[in-house]
Amino acid sequence: MGVLGPQVATEPGLPERVTIYEVGARDGLQNEAVSVSVEVKAEFIGRLAAAGLRTIEATSMVRASWVPQLADAEELLDRLDLEGEIRYPVLVPNERGLERALAHGVREVAVFASATETFARKNLNRSLAESMAMIGPVVTGAVAAGLTVRGYVSMCFGDPWEGAVPVRQVVDVGTELLELGCYELSLGDTIGVGTAGQVTGMLAAFDSAGIGADRLAMHFHDTYGQALANTLSALRGGVTVIDASAGGLGGCPFAKNATGNLATEDLVWMLAGLGIETGVDLEMLVDTSRWMAGHLGRPSPSRVVQALA
Protein backbone atom coordinates (compact mmCIF):
# COMPACT_ATOMS: atom_id res chain seq x y z
CA MET A 1 0.00 0.00 0.00
CA GLY A 2 3.04 2.28 -0.10
CA VAL A 3 2.75 5.45 2.03
CA LEU A 4 -0.81 4.46 2.94
CA GLY A 5 0.37 1.39 4.84
CA PRO A 6 0.57 1.24 8.64
CA GLN A 7 3.79 2.11 10.44
CA VAL A 8 5.33 -1.07 11.85
CA ALA A 9 6.02 -1.22 15.57
CA THR A 10 6.41 -4.72 16.96
CA GLU A 11 5.45 -5.88 20.43
CA PRO A 12 7.38 -8.60 22.29
CA GLY A 13 5.53 -11.84 22.90
CA LEU A 14 3.17 -11.66 19.96
CA PRO A 15 3.09 -14.40 17.30
CA GLU A 16 5.16 -13.95 14.16
CA ARG A 17 2.31 -15.12 11.96
CA VAL A 18 -1.48 -15.27 12.27
CA THR A 19 -3.83 -17.46 10.28
CA ILE A 20 -6.94 -15.60 9.16
CA TYR A 21 -9.96 -17.87 8.95
CA GLU A 22 -12.07 -15.98 6.38
CA VAL A 23 -15.82 -16.32 6.99
CA GLY A 24 -17.20 -13.67 4.63
CA ALA A 25 -18.61 -16.06 2.05
CA ARG A 26 -20.60 -18.00 4.65
CA ASP A 27 -21.11 -16.09 7.90
CA GLY A 28 -20.79 -12.79 6.09
CA LEU A 29 -23.39 -13.40 3.39
CA GLN A 30 -25.86 -15.60 5.28
CA ASN A 31 -27.71 -12.66 6.81
CA GLU A 32 -27.75 -10.37 3.76
CA ALA A 33 -31.20 -9.37 2.53
CA VAL A 34 -29.98 -8.91 -1.06
CA SER A 35 -29.82 -12.23 -2.89
CA VAL A 36 -26.31 -12.96 -4.15
CA SER A 37 -25.98 -15.25 -7.17
CA VAL A 38 -23.81 -18.32 -7.09
CA GLU A 39 -21.65 -16.75 -9.82
CA VAL A 40 -20.93 -13.73 -7.64
CA LYS A 41 -20.23 -15.94 -4.61
CA ALA A 42 -17.77 -18.03 -6.60
CA GLU A 43 -16.01 -14.92 -7.88
CA PHE A 44 -15.95 -13.47 -4.35
CA ILE A 45 -14.23 -16.59 -3.05
CA GLY A 46 -11.82 -16.54 -5.99
CA ARG A 47 -10.92 -12.92 -5.29
CA LEU A 48 -10.36 -13.68 -1.60
CA ALA A 49 -8.01 -16.51 -2.54
CA ALA A 50 -6.16 -14.28 -4.99
CA ALA A 51 -5.67 -11.74 -2.19
CA GLY A 52 -3.75 -14.37 -0.22
CA LEU A 53 -6.36 -15.87 2.09
CA ARG A 54 -5.76 -19.59 2.44
CA THR A 55 -8.71 -20.64 4.61
CA ILE A 56 -12.07 -19.51 3.25
CA GLU A 57 -15.24 -20.94 4.76
CA ALA A 58 -17.32 -21.45 1.65
CA THR A 59 -20.90 -22.14 2.69
CA SER A 60 -23.18 -24.12 4.97
CA MET A 61 -25.15 -27.30 4.34
CA VAL A 62 -28.10 -25.84 6.19
CA ARG A 63 -31.71 -26.30 5.15
CA ALA A 64 -32.67 -23.65 2.59
CA SER A 65 -35.73 -22.60 4.59
CA TRP A 66 -33.46 -21.72 7.52
CA VAL A 67 -30.90 -19.65 5.59
CA PRO A 68 -32.19 -18.96 2.06
CA GLN A 69 -29.01 -17.09 1.09
CA LEU A 70 -27.06 -20.37 1.24
CA ALA A 71 -29.54 -22.52 -0.68
CA ASP A 72 -27.01 -22.83 -3.53
CA ALA A 73 -24.36 -24.53 -1.38
CA GLU A 74 -23.93 -27.61 -3.56
CA GLU A 75 -23.79 -25.63 -6.80
CA LEU A 76 -21.17 -23.35 -5.27
CA LEU A 77 -19.01 -26.25 -4.10
CA ASP A 78 -19.05 -27.68 -7.60
CA ARG A 79 -17.39 -24.45 -8.78
CA LEU A 80 -14.49 -24.65 -6.29
CA ASP A 81 -11.24 -26.60 -6.49
CA LEU A 82 -11.59 -28.61 -3.30
CA GLU A 83 -8.38 -30.53 -4.01
CA GLY A 84 -6.12 -27.47 -4.23
CA GLU A 85 -4.04 -25.65 -1.65
CA ILE A 86 -6.88 -23.41 -0.44
CA ARG A 87 -8.92 -24.76 2.46
CA TYR A 88 -12.69 -24.46 1.94
CA PRO A 89 -14.39 -25.56 5.17
CA VAL A 90 -18.15 -26.01 5.14
CA LEU A 91 -20.49 -25.65 8.10
CA VAL A 92 -22.65 -28.74 8.64
CA PRO A 93 -25.55 -28.63 11.14
CA ASN A 94 -26.43 -32.34 11.23
CA GLU A 95 -25.73 -35.77 9.77
CA ARG A 96 -27.69 -35.02 6.61
CA GLY A 97 -25.54 -31.93 6.08
CA LEU A 98 -22.43 -34.05 6.52
CA GLU A 99 -23.69 -36.54 3.91
CA ARG A 100 -24.20 -33.70 1.43
CA ALA A 101 -20.73 -32.30 2.15
CA LEU A 102 -19.07 -35.69 1.69
CA ALA A 103 -20.91 -36.22 -1.59
CA HIS A 104 -19.36 -33.03 -2.94
CA GLY A 105 -15.78 -33.81 -1.91
CA VAL A 106 -15.48 -31.46 1.06
CA ARG A 107 -12.33 -32.11 3.08
CA GLU A 108 -13.01 -29.96 6.12
CA VAL A 109 -16.21 -29.21 8.02
CA ALA A 110 -17.30 -27.17 11.01
CA VAL A 111 -19.99 -27.81 13.60
CA PHE A 112 -21.85 -25.25 15.66
CA ALA A 113 -22.67 -25.41 19.37
CA SER A 114 -24.02 -22.88 21.83
CA ALA A 115 -22.65 -21.96 25.23
CA THR A 116 -26.17 -21.13 26.43
CA GLU A 117 -29.44 -23.00 26.69
CA THR A 118 -31.61 -20.27 25.18
CA PHE A 119 -29.53 -19.77 22.05
CA ALA A 120 -29.35 -23.53 21.51
CA ARG A 121 -33.15 -23.52 21.36
CA LYS A 122 -33.30 -20.41 19.15
CA ASN A 123 -30.65 -21.62 16.73
CA LEU A 124 -31.19 -25.39 16.62
CA ASN A 125 -34.65 -25.76 18.19
CA ARG A 126 -33.11 -28.13 20.73
CA SER A 127 -31.90 -28.00 24.30
CA LEU A 128 -28.16 -27.66 24.86
CA ALA A 129 -27.90 -31.35 25.73
CA GLU A 130 -29.98 -32.36 22.70
CA SER A 131 -27.90 -30.19 20.38
CA MET A 132 -24.67 -31.72 21.64
CA ALA A 133 -26.18 -35.18 21.14
CA MET A 134 -26.94 -34.19 17.54
CA ILE A 135 -23.42 -32.86 16.96
CA GLY A 136 -21.67 -35.97 18.30
CA PRO A 137 -22.41 -38.28 15.35
CA VAL A 138 -21.54 -35.49 12.91
CA VAL A 139 -18.07 -35.05 14.38
CA THR A 140 -17.34 -38.75 14.76
CA GLY A 141 -18.69 -39.46 11.27
CA ALA A 142 -16.60 -36.73 9.72
CA VAL A 143 -13.43 -37.84 11.51
CA ALA A 144 -14.08 -41.45 10.47
CA ALA A 145 -14.34 -40.24 6.86
CA GLY A 146 -10.95 -38.58 7.12
CA LEU A 147 -12.19 -35.00 7.42
CA THR A 148 -10.91 -32.40 9.84
CA VAL A 149 -13.58 -30.84 12.04
CA ARG A 150 -13.68 -27.40 13.60
CA GLY A 151 -16.00 -26.58 16.48
CA TYR A 152 -17.73 -23.22 16.85
CA VAL A 153 -19.05 -22.16 20.25
CA SER A 154 -21.45 -19.22 20.11
CA MET A 155 -22.51 -16.74 22.82
CA CYS A 156 -19.22 -17.16 24.70
CA PHE A 157 -19.06 -13.61 26.05
CA GLY A 158 -22.71 -12.70 26.54
CA ASP A 159 -26.20 -13.75 25.50
CA PRO A 160 -29.09 -11.36 24.66
CA TRP A 161 -31.57 -13.55 26.54
CA GLU A 162 -29.48 -14.87 29.44
CA GLY A 163 -27.07 -11.96 29.94
CA ALA A 164 -23.63 -12.79 31.32
CA VAL A 165 -22.40 -16.26 30.38
CA PRO A 166 -20.40 -18.16 33.02
CA VAL A 167 -16.95 -18.98 31.70
CA ARG A 168 -17.32 -22.51 33.03
CA GLN A 169 -20.21 -23.12 30.63
CA VAL A 170 -18.06 -22.13 27.67
CA VAL A 171 -15.18 -24.33 28.82
CA ASP A 172 -17.50 -27.31 29.36
CA VAL A 173 -19.05 -27.06 25.89
CA GLY A 174 -15.66 -26.48 24.27
CA THR A 175 -14.08 -29.40 26.09
CA GLU A 176 -16.89 -31.70 24.92
CA LEU A 177 -16.36 -30.65 21.29
CA LEU A 178 -12.62 -31.31 21.50
CA GLU A 179 -13.21 -34.69 23.14
CA LEU A 180 -15.57 -35.60 20.30
CA GLY A 181 -12.73 -35.00 17.81
CA CYS A 182 -12.67 -31.33 16.81
CA TYR A 183 -9.13 -30.13 16.11
CA GLU A 184 -9.88 -26.50 16.96
CA LEU A 185 -12.43 -24.39 18.82
CA SER A 186 -13.59 -21.01 17.56
CA LEU A 187 -14.95 -19.01 20.50
CA GLY A 188 -17.61 -16.62 19.28
CA ASP A 189 -18.65 -13.25 20.67
CA THR A 190 -21.89 -13.52 18.74
CA ILE A 191 -23.39 -10.21 19.84
CA GLY A 192 -20.11 -8.32 20.19
CA VAL A 193 -20.35 -7.47 23.91
CA GLY A 194 -17.03 -8.98 24.94
CA THR A 195 -14.14 -6.96 26.31
CA ALA A 196 -10.40 -7.48 26.34
CA GLY A 197 -10.30 -8.54 29.99
CA GLN A 198 -12.95 -11.18 29.32
CA VAL A 199 -10.80 -12.61 26.55
CA THR A 200 -7.82 -12.88 28.90
CA GLY A 201 -9.98 -14.59 31.50
CA MET A 202 -11.45 -16.98 28.96
CA LEU A 203 -8.01 -18.09 27.76
CA ALA A 204 -6.88 -18.57 31.36
CA ALA A 205 -9.94 -20.71 32.10
CA PHE A 206 -9.28 -22.94 29.10
CA ASP A 207 -5.62 -23.20 30.05
CA SER A 208 -6.62 -24.30 33.56
CA ALA A 209 -8.74 -27.00 31.94
CA GLY A 210 -5.71 -28.24 30.02
CA ILE A 211 -6.65 -26.63 26.69
CA GLY A 212 -3.96 -24.34 25.36
CA ALA A 213 -4.29 -21.35 23.06
CA ASP A 214 -2.96 -23.49 20.19
CA ARG A 215 -6.35 -25.27 20.12
CA LEU A 216 -8.36 -22.04 20.13
CA ALA A 217 -9.45 -19.46 17.59
CA MET A 218 -11.44 -16.27 18.19
CA HIS A 219 -14.53 -15.04 16.35
CA PHE A 220 -15.38 -11.46 17.26
CA HIS A 221 -18.25 -9.25 16.19
CA ASP A 222 -17.75 -5.50 16.26
CA THR A 223 -21.15 -4.43 17.61
CA TYR A 224 -19.59 -2.25 20.30
CA GLY A 225 -16.32 -1.53 18.51
CA GLN A 226 -14.32 -3.97 20.63
CA ALA A 227 -13.28 -6.57 18.05
CA LEU A 228 -9.72 -5.33 17.46
CA ALA A 229 -9.04 -4.74 21.16
CA ASN A 230 -10.30 -8.23 21.90
CA THR A 231 -8.15 -9.64 19.11
CA LEU A 232 -5.03 -8.02 20.51
CA SER A 233 -5.84 -9.49 23.92
CA ALA A 234 -6.18 -12.92 22.29
CA LEU A 235 -2.84 -12.54 20.48
CA ARG A 236 -1.15 -11.64 23.75
CA GLY A 237 -2.63 -14.82 25.17
CA GLY A 238 -1.08 -16.96 22.44
CA VAL A 239 -3.97 -17.33 19.97
CA THR A 240 -2.78 -17.44 16.35
CA VAL A 241 -6.05 -18.10 14.46
CA ILE A 242 -8.55 -15.26 14.08
CA ASP A 243 -11.88 -15.40 12.25
CA ALA A 244 -12.73 -12.38 10.13
CA SER A 245 -15.07 -11.37 7.34
CA ALA A 246 -14.02 -9.40 4.27
CA GLY A 247 -15.58 -5.96 4.37
CA GLY A 248 -17.03 -6.59 7.83
CA LEU A 249 -19.97 -8.50 6.37
CA GLY A 250 -22.15 -10.56 8.62
CA GLY A 251 -24.42 -10.96 11.56
CA CYS A 252 -26.53 -13.82 12.81
CA PRO A 253 -30.03 -14.62 11.56
CA PHE A 254 -30.91 -16.06 14.96
CA ALA A 255 -29.62 -13.14 17.08
CA LYS A 256 -31.05 -9.96 15.64
CA ASN A 257 -28.78 -7.52 17.50
CA ALA A 258 -25.62 -9.23 16.25
CA THR A 259 -23.96 -6.88 13.78
CA GLY A 260 -21.04 -7.47 11.50
CA ASN A 261 -17.98 -9.58 12.04
CA LEU A 262 -14.52 -8.19 12.56
CA ALA A 263 -13.54 -6.86 9.12
CA THR A 264 -10.63 -8.75 7.58
CA GLU A 265 -9.15 -5.49 6.29
CA ASP A 266 -9.17 -3.93 9.75
CA LEU A 267 -7.51 -7.04 11.16
CA VAL A 268 -4.85 -7.12 8.43
CA TRP A 269 -4.04 -3.42 9.00
CA MET A 270 -3.53 -3.98 12.74
CA LEU A 271 -1.46 -7.12 12.25
CA ALA A 272 0.70 -5.45 9.60
CA GLY A 273 1.36 -2.60 12.02
CA LEU A 274 2.52 -5.13 14.60
CA GLY A 275 4.83 -6.79 12.09
CA ILE A 276 2.76 -9.99 12.09
CA GLU A 277 2.64 -11.93 8.81
CA THR A 278 -0.68 -12.95 7.26
CA GLY A 279 0.17 -13.44 3.58
CA VAL A 280 -2.73 -11.16 2.62
CA ASP A 281 -2.50 -8.40 0.01
CA LEU A 282 -4.47 -5.60 1.65
CA GLU A 283 -4.99 -3.60 -1.52
CA MET A 284 -6.48 -6.58 -3.35
CA LEU A 285 -8.66 -7.37 -0.36
CA VAL A 286 -10.00 -3.81 -0.17
CA ASP A 287 -10.79 -3.90 -3.88
CA THR A 288 -12.65 -7.18 -3.36
CA SER A 289 -14.77 -5.79 -0.53
CA ARG A 290 -15.60 -2.67 -2.52
CA TRP A 291 -16.63 -4.91 -5.41
CA MET A 292 -18.88 -7.00 -3.15
CA ALA A 293 -20.36 -3.88 -1.56
CA GLY A 294 -21.41 -2.85 -5.05
CA HIS A 295 -23.30 -6.12 -5.48
CA LEU A 296 -24.97 -5.67 -2.09
CA GLY A 297 -25.92 -2.07 -2.80
CA ARG A 298 -24.40 -0.60 0.35
CA PRO A 299 -20.98 0.58 1.51
CA SER A 300 -18.66 -1.68 3.45
CA PRO A 301 -18.68 -1.04 7.22
CA SER A 302 -14.94 -1.76 7.39
CA ARG A 303 -13.10 1.34 8.56
CA VAL A 304 -10.00 0.41 6.54
CA VAL A 305 -12.07 -0.09 3.38
CA GLN A 306 -13.67 3.30 3.94
CA ALA A 307 -10.32 4.98 4.60
CA LEU A 308 -8.57 3.51 1.58
CA ALA A 309 -11.51 4.04 -0.76
> pLDDT, tens digit, for every residue of 190-232?
999 999 999 999 999 999 999 999 999 999 999 999 999 999 9
Residues labelled catalytic = 252
Cα(230)–Cα(103) distance, integer angstroms? 38
> pLDDT, tens digit, for every residue of 136-176?
999 999 999 999 999 999 999 999 999 999 999 999 999 99
Tell me which CATH code domain 17-308 carries: 3.20.20.70
- CB-based contact 235:194 (threshold 8 Å): no
Rg (CA), the chain: 18
Reply yes or no on whether the pLDDT at 258 is more than 60.
Answer: no
Q: According to the model, what pLDDT value does residue 1 have?
A: 43
Is 0.85 topped by the overall pTM? yes
Q: According to the model, what pLDDT value does residue 259 have?
A: 63
